[in-house]
C-alpha cells in the first residue's frame, strides 16, 4: 500500500469541522482588524526564497523542497508566505494605490524538517502582514491581531515574548561585537558556529550544541547596542502594549539572524506542546522589499502554525467546532421511490440551507435508519410504495420519535414543518 509521505498528514472528515471553525475564526478576526486576504502560488522561483529568507538560514540551507521543472527552471514549494506576499505587492505595485496594506494569508507551507510532534513537512500557516508603516503603532496593531486571535480561540497557556533588534545600523555594531567576542573561543566551538561567525553570528546565540553553550552566557547582549532611536522605538511599543492590556515578557534572547529584520521581534510561546513550543512569531522586516529589488518599505508581520494552534486547543480541552449534523436524511424503500427521494433532496437543498443526505447504497429501512443515526440527523423523511402512491412522505423527528404525514410536493409545508421544530428545539 502506498502511504502518505513522511511528515504529511491527511485531514480526515472527522477533523474537518475543527479546521473549518478555526479558519473561520481567523478570517473573521483578521477582517475585524481591516485585513484583506491575499493568495499567492504554492511554488515560486527558488531565488525568491534564497533572497527573501536568506541563504544562511536553515530554511534555505537545508529545508526547502526545490526541484527543476521540464524547462530546467529551479522552483521551490514555499516554506513561508512573507517573501511571496512581498513579491506580489511589488509585482502588482499595490503600494502605489494604497500606502498601507493590511494583508492576511492562510495555506500550506513546506519544509523538510525532521518530523515530530507539532513539526511536519507540509504544515499550515496563518500569516498577517502590515506593510507601509514605520511607526510603533503598526507593530502593536499586528501584535494585537495575533494576541486577539489566540484569546478568541479561548487559549490562555501562552506567553508573548518580545525583543527589539534595533535599527539596522545598531544591529551591525552588535554583529561586529559578537564576532569579536566569539573569535578567541571559536576553535573550541561547533562546526556550525565556525561557519556562522562569518555568515551570521547572531545565529550562534540559538545554538543548542554542547560545545557552544559555555560561551553563550557571557556573550554581549543586543540590548546594550541599541541606539537612542531604537530604545525609544522599543519603549513606545511597550507603552502601547500596556495601554492595550496585552501582557508580554521582554526576552533578550529572542533574535532573528537576518539583516533585513529590525526593531520588534516577537514570539508566542507555550509550555504545553513539548519541544515545538512556538505557536507563532513575527517581526519587523523593513529591509526585505529592497532585498527583493523594490523601494525601501517598512513592514511587519507574523505567522501562526495552524497545527500547533489545534494541538494546543486540544491540550487545553477547548473545542472550536460543532460536528456537522444532517438535518434531513431521506429514506427510500423501493426503486421508484429513489428518484423521488433524490428530487426531494434537491428541492430542499435549493430552497433552504438544510443539510440533506440520501442513501445511494440501496440499503434496507433498518440500515438507512442506522445511517441517519450515524449522521446525527434531526429528521428522516421516509418514502415507500404507500407514500409514493399517495404523494406523501412520513417525516419523523429523531429525538422525540414524533411522526407526521405530509404532502410530498408541497415544499413550503415541508420546510415549515422542519423549521418550526428547529425553532422549538433551540
Quickly list DSSP for 209-274. Answer: -TTTHHHHTTSPPGGGG--HHHHHHHHHHHHHHHHTT---EE-TT-----TT-EEEEEEEE-SSST
356-358 and 392-397 as β-strands: parallel, antiparallel, unpaired? unpaired
Whichever of 80 and 397 has its CB closer to ligand AMP, that residue is 80
Q: What crossing angle do the helices spanning 191-199 and 168-182 adopt, rounded to 10°?
A: 140
Whichever of 26 and 408 has its CB closer to ligand AMP, that residue is 26
The residue number with the shortest CB distance to ligand AMP is 305
CB of 381 to ligand AMP, least distance (A): 44
Whichever of 113 and 159 has its CB closer to ligand AMP, that residue is 113
CA 342/CA 47 separation, integer angstroms: 53
Three cell numbers written together for 296: 525601501
CB of 280 to ligand AMP, least distance (A): 4
Q: Do 359 and 371 meet the contact criterion of CB atoms below 8 Å apart? A: yes
- 211-224 CB burial, b ≥16 within 10 A, e <16: ebeebbeebeebee
Sheet holding 356-358: strands in order across?
Answer: 356-358, 328-332, 379-383, 392-397, 403-407
CB of 365 to ligand AMP, least distance (A): 47
CB of 407 to ligand AMP, least distance (A): 55
Whichever of 5 and 100 has its CB closer to ligand AMP, that residue is 5
Q: CB 413: neighbour CB atoms within 10 A?
A: 12
Whichever of 280 and 287 has its CB closer to ligand AMP, that residue is 280
CB of 11 to ligand AMP, least distance (A): 14
CA 42/CA 346 separation, integer angstroms: 36
**Residues of the shown chain interacting with ligand AMP in the complex, contacts defined by CB under 6 A:** 80, 111, 113, 118-120, 123, 125, 278-281, 303-305, 307-308
CB of 80 to ligand AMP, least distance (A): 5
CB of 77 to ligand AMP, least distance (A): 13
Q: Which long-range contacts (CB under 8 A, 24 or more apart) does 22-29 make?
A: 22/153, 22/306, 22/309, 22/310, 22/313, 22/320, 22/321, 23/106, 23/306, 25/149, 25/152, 25/153, 25/320, 26/104, 26/106, 26/126, 26/149, 27/104, 27/106, 29/145, 29/148, 29/149, 29/152
CB of 33 to ligand AMP, least distance (A): 19
Whichever of 307 and 397 has its CB closer to ligand AMP, that residue is 307
Whichever of 123 and 289 has its CB closer to ligand AMP, that residue is 123
Whichever of 153 and 331 has its CB closer to ligand AMP, that residue is 153
Amino acid at each position: 500500500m502506498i502511504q502518505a509521505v513522511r511528515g504529511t498528514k491527511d485531514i480526515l472528515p472527522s477533523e474537518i469541522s475543527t479546521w473549518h471553525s478555526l479558519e473561520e475564526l481567523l478570517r473573521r478576526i483578521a477582517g475585524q482588524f481591516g485585513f484583506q486576504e491575499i493568495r499567492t502560488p504554492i511554488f515560486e522561483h527558488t531565488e525568491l526564497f534564497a533572497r527573501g529568507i536568506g541563504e544562511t538560514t536553515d530554511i534555505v540551507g537545508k529545508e526547502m523542497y526545490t526541484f527543476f521543472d521540464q524547462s530546467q527552471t529551479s522552483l521551490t514549494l514555499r516554506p513561508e508566505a512573507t517573501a511571496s506576499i512581498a513579491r506580489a505587492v511589488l509585482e502588482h505595485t499595490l503600494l502605489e494605490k494604497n500606502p498601507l496594506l493590511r494583508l492576511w494569508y492562510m495555506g500550506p507551507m513546506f519544509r523538510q524538517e525532521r518530523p515530530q510532534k507539532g513539526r511536519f513537512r507540509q504544515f499550515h500557516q496563518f500569516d498577517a502582514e502590515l506593510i507601509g508603516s514605520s511607526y510603533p503603532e503598526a507593530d502593536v496593531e499586528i501584535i494585537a491581531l495575533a494576541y486577539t486571535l489566540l484569546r478568541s480561540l479561548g487559549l490562555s497557556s501562552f506567553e508573548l515574548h518580545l525583543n527589539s533588534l534595533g535599527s539596522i545600523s545598531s544591529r551591525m555594531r552588535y554583529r561586529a561585537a559578537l564576532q569579536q567576542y566569539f573569535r578567541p573561543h571559536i576553535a573550541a566551538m561547533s562546526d556550525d558556529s565556525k561557519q556562522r561567525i562569518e555568515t551570521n553570528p547572531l545565529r550562534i546565540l540559538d545554538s543548542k550544541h554542547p560545545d557552544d553553550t559555555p560561551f553563550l552566557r557571557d556573550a554581549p547582549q543586543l540590548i546594550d547596542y541599541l541606539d537612542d532611536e531604537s530604545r525609544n522605538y522599543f519603549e513606545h511599543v511597550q507603552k502601547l502594549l500596556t495601554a492595550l492590556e496585552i501582557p508580554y515578557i521582554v526576552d533578550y534572547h529572542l533574535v532573528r539572524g537576518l539583516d533585513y529584520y529590525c526593531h520588534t521581534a516577537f514570539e508566542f510561546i507555550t509550555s504545553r506542546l513539548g519541544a515545538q513550543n512556538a505557536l507563532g512569531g513575527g517581526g519587523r522586516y523593513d529591509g526585505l522589499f529592497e532585498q527583493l529589488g523594490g523601494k525601501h518599505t517598512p513592514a511587519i508581520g507574523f505567522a501562526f502554525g495552524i497545527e500547533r494552534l489545534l494541538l494546543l486547543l486540544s491540550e487545553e480541552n477547548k473545542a472550536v467546532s460543532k460536528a456537522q449534523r444532517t438535518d434531513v436524511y431521506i429514506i427510500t424503500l423501493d426503486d421508484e421511490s429513489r428518484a423521488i427521494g433524490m428530487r426531494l433532496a434537491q428541492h430542499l437543498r435549493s430552497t433552504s440551507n438544510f443539510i440533506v443526505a440520501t442513501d445511494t447504497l440501496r440499503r434496507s429501512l433498518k440500515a438507512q435508519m442506522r445511517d441517519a443515526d450515524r449522521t446525527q440527523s434531526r429528521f428522516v423523511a421516509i418514502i415507500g410504495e404507500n407514500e409514493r402512491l399517495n404523494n406523501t412522505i412520513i417525516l419523523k423527528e429523531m429525538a422525540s420519535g414524533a411522526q407526521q404525514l405530509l404532502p410530498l410536493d408541497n415544499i413550503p409545508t415541508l420546510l415549515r414543518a422542519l423549521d418550526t421544530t428547529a425553532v422549538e428545539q433551540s
